[in-house]
Structure 1
Amino acid sequence: MRDIAEGLASWHSAGVRFAVATVVRTWKSAPRRPGAAMAVTESGEVRGSVSGGCVEGAVYEVAREVLASGEAVLKTYGVSDDDALEAGLTCGGVVDILVRPADDDHFPELPAVLGHIATGRPVAVASVLSGDAYPGGNLVVAPDTAGAAGTLGNARLDAAITEQARGMLAQGHTGVVHIGRNGEQRMDQLAVFVQSFAPPPRMLVFGAIDFAGAVARIGKFLGYHVTVCDARPVFATRERFPDADELVVQWPHLFLEEHPVDEDTVICVLTHDPKFDVPLLERALRTPARYIGAMGSRRTHEDRLTRLREAGVSESALARLSAPIGLDLGARTPEETAVAIMAEIIALRWGGTGERLTRTELSIHH
């Protein structure tokens, strides 16, 4: 829902009635992950997607029915179902989709959830999928100890789900929890969908060059919180980097010393200048960043490795460095190069091979 949150906030503030369809479970080669959402208004306007086109038409009709009835519906679409085949889900996957009204009567906590998403604050939303708990209830959970908003039916259930939701939120995990109707951990009378909205992962782009502008644009498009950093104020300008969330004029290695890096952060070093690269990479390779890539020719990279070894960087640390940066796409322009860089980041994140799918027999959706 994060990708349509701004639009939902606009609809809500304008008093528009709408329903939200959310993927809550998937099996096999389902095209979208749990949490993917599509919203439909009374007038028929649509935002988002739950299947990349496979079942949107069928879900659209269900959403219109839900708006008319005011009752939430859980629908399953799979390759063996006539409805799914008719709707076009021929990829072999199976999806459970929860469709529910999103007005003040049925989801009064929605504005608070959208506010958390808009400001980058972590939040989780728990909803009962099956069982005899409070129908249509939602529990909104923040990562602190200030309590939760809403209810799933009773205090003990709310307390148990709050604890589990905070753990899932800390890991950025969205999924279904099975639990007893009063929060008993060893029972499974209820299926509760917990959707986590963790802050977007960070992308640190060092070097205010044209390639950095393209990387920032695509990184932002893919959901990263993008910071562009360069020590040269004449190049690090908002006019050149309108898509960056943050623009910092500072020596890159000093910036990295002052800003903690977590396991979800990706670092792109595009300066290919030893006076910037070496002190920056020396520090970057000590962080738990998921990806560290550096631009430059193979000759530049060999020189860079020599300097880093002289600075005391270990071979195991150097093995984490993706350089030359990106996949071999034959890229020429800054935009094509940015696609190659982001393709490598995506492949490493999800375990992709970088091969053409037509040459593999692997699952399309890892």
Structure 2
Amino acid sequence: MKHIHRQVLEHLSSGAEAVLATVTRSSGSTPQKPGSSALFGSRGLIAGTVGGGLLEASVQSLAREALDSGISVQHVFNLDSSQGEEGARCGGEATVLIDADPGAFLQVFKDLERTIAGGFAGILGTIVEMRDGRKAVIRRFWIPGEQGGRIPAGLQPDVQDAVAETLGRDAGDDFLEFPLPAGHKVQKRAVFLQRIGPLPRLIIAGAGHVGRAVAHLGRLLEFEITVVDDRKELASRENVPDADYLVVRDMGQAMREIKLTGDTYVVIVTRGHRHDAEVLRPCIGAGAAYVGMIGSRHKVAAMRQEFIDKGWATPEQWDSIHTPIGLEIGSETVQEIAVSIAAQLVMERHRKRLEDEA
């Protein structure tokens, strides 16, 4: 799940007022899961979402009130069929925390961004004390994963254990709630722990028509996009505006220098057989979550034989490569090919969960 911390940091750093709304609990059928956030300003939604539709409109109304009053609240929304045609008709319940002053924790968001930019995950902790009905007193902290983290004093041992366990996971988002002992004039107290890490990386070798289209879809699917090509006129912001990073150099050499991890997805769509082979070789057995290569079945069969004969790959290693790339949906146009590749990326990203649910 994409977190909006960067937009929060950019907006708050400008000195502008804003309200940060976060779904803290949900039950039944709800449009967004716990941890989903939206940032609201005086003119409405700035970034993110808590579900859209009538729920988001209701949250936005409370956000305006919070901007005016400076009071944070936590509110329970019932999402049932009585909402009528305009409602989402989810039939569930969502609790939303509305932070009237997220700027009070600007340093927390700066520390969060620094950790993510370094390629590490961490835990965003939010302590909420409920007073006088819906009124919420909020305190936030950030525990950077790259340093093992320092856990604030006063948290229960089971919360500390949850932090350690969540930091130790390789990927995925977690949003956990733990009740804490209440105190004088405090009706309820809890800590919410959200694991936030870097987006999965999508490395696209080849900045031609297909590479550009895949980059666009990858952006929509919340990947961090790196595009590699040796042609500077193609590996450019003008040609691939959706890329986070552009690498202009020999593609095979560039791939040898990029560290591939269990959260890296490689799409090989270069302009020819030789370039495909040069890019593919350093990907064999390198530990990427996904490696896919474009090509006809004839080309793929010939390259498979070459790689095995020359000892560049074992049959088992070759069979782990998705080639010809993409799901078989009868693709013909560039856009259709990109859709088939994007669909395969989504399937592989969620494969473990799909297998567990089967």
Under a length normalisation based on structure 2, what TM-score does the superposition of the two structures give? Answer: 0.79
Cα displacement (A) at 1:65: 3.0
1:297 alignment counterpart: 296
Contact 1:141-1:147 at 8 Å conserved across structures: yes
2:316 alignment counterpart: 316
Paired residue type of 2:76: T
Contact 1:124-1:196 at 8 Å conserved across structures: yes
Map 1:49-198; keep pairs closer than 5 Å. 49-80=49-80, 88-105=87-104, 107-113=105-111, 115-116=113-114, 119=117, 122-129=121-128, 135-145=137-147, 155-157=153-155, 161=159, 164-165=162-163, 167-171=165-169, 172-178=172-178, 181=181, 191-198=190-197
Matched residues, percent identical? 27
Paired residue type of 2:315: E
CA distance in 1: counterparts of 2:316 and 2:128, whole angstroms: 46
1:202 alignment counterpart: 201
Map 1:275-294; keep pairs closer than 5 Å. 275-294=274-293
1:308-353 Cα shifts (integer Å, max 9, x gaps): 3323423332332222212234444333322221122112222499
Structure 2 residue matching 1:322: 3-state secondary structure: coil
1:170-213 Cα shifts (integer Å, max 9, x gaps): 5343211426549xxxxxx9642122321222111112322112
1:90-125 Cα shifts (integer Å, max 9, x gaps): 2344433222123444x3545425643784654431
Contact 1:38-1:49 at 8 Å conserved across structures: yes
Cα displacement (A) at 1:235: 4.7
Paired residue type of 1:37: S
2:262 alignment counterpart: 263
CA distance in 2: counterparts of 1:39 and 1:288, whole angstroms: 37
Contact 2:13-2:106 at 8 Å conserved across structures: no
1:362 alignment counterpart: none
CA distance in 1: counterparts of 2:100 and 2:71, whole angstroms: 7
Structure 2 residue matching 1:51: 3-state secondary structure: coil
Structure 2 residue runs of 5 or longer lacking an equivalent are 183-187
Q: Which is further off, 93-102 or 258-267?
A: 93-102
Paired residue type of 1:116: R
Contact 2:265-2:289 at 8 Å conserved across structures: yes
Contact 2:127-2:190 at 8 Å conserved across structures: yes
Paired residue type of 2:138: G
Contact 2:234-2:240 at 8 Å conserved across structures: no
Q: Over aligned residue pairs, what C-alpha RMSD do you find?
A: 3.7
1:245-290 Cα shifts (integer Å, max 9, x gaps): 2222344343333222111111001126332333433432302222
CA distance in 2: counterparts of 1:72 and 1:305, whole angstroms: 60
1:207-244 Cα shifts (integer Å, max 9, x gaps): 23221122122223333222222345565445433432
Cα displacement (A) at 1:56: 0.7
- Over 3 Å counting, the alpha-carbon distance change for 1:242 and 1:267 in structure 2 is same
Contact 1:347-1:353 at 8 Å conserved across structures: no
Cα displacement (A) at 1:138: 1.1
Q: Which is further off, 329-338 or 209-218?
A: 329-338
1:46-84 Cα shifts (integer Å, max 9, x gaps): 4321114351111112222333443333333344586x7
